[in-house]
Amino acid sequence: MTLSGDPDPIGGCRGTPDRKGPGTIAIAAMILLSCTLAACSSGPERVAQPVTTTRRSGPAGVAYVFAYFTGDGKGGVRLAVSRDGIRFGNVDQGRPVLRAPSLGVGFHRDPSLLRTASGRWYLAWTTGARRRVALASSADLRHWSRPRSIGVMEQEPTAVNSWAPELLADPDGGYVMIFASTVRRLHPSGNSEPGVDGKPLNHRLYITHSDDLRTWSRSKLFWDRDLNAIDATVVATGDKDPARRFAVVYKDERLDPLRKNFRIAFGPGFDGPWAEPDHAIPEVGQIAEGPSLARSPDDKGWFLYADRYAEGFYALASSPDLRTWTTRTDDLRMPDGARHGTVLRVPAAAIANLLDDAPG
């Protein structure tokens, strides 16, 4: 795949700048209105403010790092860290750690963070290009390589967008990116907000594989349940049932009737097949995006993070088994203005310098 150049224009609008609204009907109307505005502008960039984090880590010496964007996404990628996965403090007082304004239309949306077995960090994000996403790497999360543009949908000239690349390590070997795209030759119209071509978007989830995080395979369909779906992430569950070895959480993007919520399904492999029916996770709310799953500090359960973008806050639910969920949003402390990102659980030693510098 091509790793340079990025001539494609923006491919649609992610979320909405208006984060106030009393109910789902009003919120749906705001979403539709915001995505018809010129250039999909989300208003002025908001600088994330520090929050307090507690000085403790899990019994295994684990910690959490959160990569996110703010505002319209043109201000760069920011980081926050936590010792318990609940209270996050900004790195470098909320200043961006990475900026690549020349890629796509300059967006740094939906950042997805990965740490490899060697300890190197990789970050993928939405640039606003129709058929490309961006990828960069770092040894310390502060100094980044020159970002590369990866043509994940170059083979599809009718692709309207390439959204939210989820960068993951396959436990069976290699790496993947899972992302969403509307391909007009396959899905001329759909049940969602309009794209830049004025037609309703109709996303499907796609996947591309790599052995070295440099050369990527031709993207193929990851999963299609004949519905508009975006924002997928996959985890190894540790379940003894072979049919539940992996779980996928994704966003049902349908607008009418209003969905915009998370669903979970289970399967035997990283690529599925995923069992039907899948199940909604209402504990993180409706009108949400960017699901991020991480093990709890004590390894006895899971945290599911969600960007409640229409209302301007992050939500949290916890589960002992990925079946039953408890809302924990009132406990969660995230940087002000944080939008769709990735929470990654890592050894505390891997981010010791960031933990020491974060407020708390």
Per-residue pLDDT of the chain (360 residues), as tens digits, is 433 334 444 444 444 333 333 344 444 444 443 443 233 333 333 333 333 333 444 445 999 999 999 999 999 999 999 999 999 999 999 999 999 999 999 999 999 999 999 999 999 999 999 999 999 999 999 999 999 999 999 999 999 999 999 999 998 899 999 999 999 999 888 888 888 888 899 999 999 999 999 999 999 999 888 889 999 999 999 999 999 999 999 999 998 888 999 999 999 999 889 998 899 999 999 899 999 999 999 999 999 999 999 999 999 999 999 999 999 999 999 999 999 999 999 999 999 999 987 775
Domain boundaries, the chain: 24-357
- Report angle CA 127, 353, 177 to the nearest 5 degrees: 30
47 contact partners, CB below 8 Å, separation of at least 6? 70, 94, 337
3-class secondary structure, 329? helix
DSSP code string of 1-55 = ---S----------S-S----SSHHHHHHHHHHHTTSGGG---SPPPPPP----S
The pair of structure tokens assigned to 283 is 């504990």
> Whole-model pTM?
0.86
Helix (H, G, I), strand (E, B) or coil at 217: coil
What is the Cα Rg of the chain in Å? 19
24-357 maps to which CATH number?
2.115.10.20
Would you give the end-to-end CA distance of the chain in angstroms? Answer: 44
Residue 360: per-residue pLDDT: 53
23-62: burial string, b at 16+ Cβ within 10 Å, e else: eeeebbebbbebbeeeebebeebbbbebbebeeebbeeeb
Euclidean distance between CA atoms 43 and 41, whole angstroms = 6
Edge-to-edge, what's the strand order for the sheet holding 313-319? 289-295, 302-308, 313-319, 326-327
| Three-state secondary structure call for residue 351 | helix
DSSP 279-298: EE-GGG-SS-EEEEEEE-TT
